[in-house]
Structure 1
Amino acid sequence: MASIVDIHPHIISDDTARYPVAPLGGKRSDWSKERPSTVESLIAAMDQAGVAKAAVVHSSTTYGFDNSYVLDACAAYPDRLVAVGSVDVTLPDAPRTIRACVERGLAGLRMFTGGSTKDFDPGELEDPRAWPAWETCAELNLPMCIQTGPVGLPQVADLARRFPNVKIILDHLGRPDVTDGAPYAKAQTLFDLAPLTNIYMKLTPRIFDDMQKGDANAGTFFPRLIDVFGAQRLAWGSNFPSSKGTLPEILATAEAGLRCLNEDDRAWIFGKTAQQLYPALA
């Protein structure tokens, strides 16, 4: 297999004076306190796992909209890492902030509409004050990751139609309900996104864990996902260290889950799609 690329690890600094904790919404995530990983620890874990490069996702539940650590850390390893940051896209100066971050190496953005520290709010995805920021992403060819669940998929579809030149990446595959098993009717709202070809998906530990629930089965779900979206729109993300386990363990679980796919599809998911989304990782 070609070089493995991870598009969803996180990093947490051990220097709280230089990089103060200021989580989005005022509530810090448990994982960032219990098992933080500095950029140096991430590089060591990548070396141990055989991961060549990574798009490091800013931790909104640690630093809010302050991208200082992810930008500084990725700049220290330009041959291995690129930074995916987060800005308040509803602010009038969001385009200027985005451009300033790009000058410091920003390769992509992320909207955190909910997760471990707050319920999902799909309303954040339909706020017209964010349109100038999205237009800036289109101009600068910056992909936008979106953290939401099934409740936000209609808004994601609307954004994909409104901004067809922005690559949208669904964190955690949009958290579909797969417990009913094949043909996965409960995940139909996810499959309905297939015609919107600027929408991409992250396969993270969450979906591999879900393969053990109800009637879900990796041997039926992942081939269905390939049939609907194609491997060229799917990319692996470790969610390390937010997800429990070492990076080698997380990667091994993903490789086992995708063993049902052919070698070419796995090559796209474990590297080639990521390099299309973030050309600096190629």
Structure 2
Amino acid sequence: MKLAKTIICAGLWCGALLAGQTRALARGVDFPLFDTQVHFYSSDFVQFPLHAQHAYMGEAVMTARAAHHPNDPARVDSDWRRMGVAAGVGIQYGAAYRSDNRYLLSVAAHSDGKVTPVVIVDPDTPDAPAELARLAAAHGVAGFRKIGKRAPDGSYPWLASEGMLRLWQVADQARLVVELMPYPRSPDPRFLHDIGQLAERFPHARIVLDHCAWPAPIGAPSYGFDASYAALAQHRNVYLKVTTENFARVHYDKALMRGQVERAVHLFGAGHVMWGSDMGNTMIPYADMVNHALAATAGLSPQARKDVLDETGRRVYAAGR
């Protein structure tokens, strides 16, 4: 099957901005939304074979999901139009493709500029820095994503391994995004401290913490954003991404969701907090994802709400472009 038949052409996305504005007004905000976390995957296993052997949900589940419910441009465009989302960020889905970025890059190339790609590159390969620089220059890639586990001694050696440091340098020089997600899914002051040190060392890299680096799902006064977050907020190249996963961890309680977002904005400023749906990974209807985001930001000032739901993400992922 030819690529033209596999990927929906740019025309699919035409008019999305106008539709986004119309739907956004219908949802009670006067601006289109910008979704900073969408994971794309295709049912075309010939053109884009899966590499799901190590998928966290299991290879069989990932394969069935892609085969029967692909998160492809047709689905995403339809949901974006319906829910007032004008554009967003495609985050390479390691569970499906690991560091084979071809599908994401194809989606972005045919999106009429609506999808900004963030790739995965293997820091242990010698050509990783050159590959990241090439992808940024040739394909408009905004940065790279890295997921890593906590070591038995409580450290995160992958954050500053020899290979990662080379990628940090490229990101710093080109002002790219370094998107990070630690495991396990629990708050860790040591991780946040290490991020602060790297933020100082690479001040031009834009560090985005997926799912806000897992703040504890608790209530007032901290809502999980404790003193270690307050210390990290002093580094102005660090950004928090609040997602549906954060809302799920507080069981979609509106008061707790609002508390989370308002506390994050209080510490970091609305210009350093952004929303991402986690579409393609979190398996609830997209309309619910958007409605949770709208509910969680309802207590913010109009400008702060626009920052979180639109302007912060749009600005941060324009890094290097």
What TM-score does the superposition give when structure 2 sets the normalisation length? 0.78
Give the superposition deviation at 1:279. Answer: 2.5
Are the aligned partners of 1:113 and 1:121 in contact in 2 as well (CA < 8 Å)? Answer: no
Identity among equivalent pairs (%): 23
| 2:143 aligned partner | 108
* Cα shift readout 1:186-213 (whole Å, capped 9, x = no counterpart): 7332332111110001110122223448
Change (3 A) 1:91 1:154: farther
Change (3 A) 1:183 1:26: closer
Structure 2's unaligned 5+ residue stretches are: 1-29
Give the superposition deviation at 1:234. Answer: 0.6
* Cα shift readout 1:198-250 (whole Å, capped 9, x = no counterpart): 00011101222234489x72343332222111100011100002112222220
Q: Which amino acid aligns with 1:154?
A: H
Structure 1 vs Structure 2 CA RMSD: 2.6
| 1:191 aligned partner | 230
Matched, 1:265 2:300: no
Report the Cα distance in structure 1 between the residues aligned to 2:181 and 2:264, rounded to whole angstroms: 19
Q: How does 1:157-236 map to 2 (within 5 A)?
A: 157-184=196-223, 187-212=226-251, 217-236=256-275
Deviating beyond 4 angstroms after TM superposition, the runs of 4 or more aligned structure 1 residues are none
| 1:26 aligned partner | 54
The one of 140, 144, 158 equivalent to 2:174 is 140
Give the SS at the match of 2:226.
helix
Structure 1's unaligned 5+ residue stretches are: none
Matched, 1:256 2:295: yes
Question: Larger relative CO (CA 8 A, sep 6+): 1 or 2?
Answer: 1
Give the superposition deviation at 1:126. Answer: 2.2
Report the Cα distance in structure 2 between the residues aligned to 1:130 and 1:185, rounded to whole angstroms: 28
Give the superposition deviation at 1:100. Answer: 2.5
Report the Cα distance in structure 2 between the residues aligned to 1:185 and 1:81, rounded to whole angstroms: 31
Question: Considering only CA atoms, is the larger Rg found in Structure 1 or Structure 2?
Answer: 2
Paired positions, count: 276
| 1:122 aligned partner | 156
| 2:133 aligned partner | 99
Report the Cα distance in structure 1 between the residues aligned to 2:155 and 2:105, rounded to whole angstroms: 27
* Cα shift readout 1:77-116 (whole Å, capped 9, x = no counterpart): 133111110101232211111123221231221112259x
Give the SS at the match of 2:90.
strand
